[in-house]
A = this chain, B = another copy of it.
Amino acid sequence: MSRVQIAINHAESSCKARGAKLTNKRKQVLSGLLQSNKARSAYQLVDYCKDEFGETLPPMSVYRILDFLQDEHLVHKLKSANKYIACAHINCDHAHGVSQFLICNQCEVVKEITINKSTINGLQRNVEDAGFHLASPQLEINAVCDSCKNRAA
Q: CA A79 – CA B130 in complex, angstroms?
A: 21
A16 to chain B, nearest CB (A): 31
- Judged by a CB distance under 8 angstroms, whether A15 is at the interface is no
> What size tier do the contact residues of chain A reach?
35 or more
Q: Would B122 and A119 count as touching, CB distance under 8 A? A: yes
| Contacts A79-B80, A80-B79, A123-B115; A135 near B130 (Cβ below 8 A) | no
Q: CA A102 – CA B128 in complex, angstroms?
A: 10
Q: A113-B130, A139-B139 are in contact. List 17 more A-B contacts (CB 8 A).
A: A79-B81, A80-B80, A102-B127, A104-B132, A111-B132, A113-B126, A115-B126, A119-B122, A119-B125, A119-B126, A127-B143, A132-B145, A132-B146, A133-B144, A133-B146, A135-B142, A139-B141
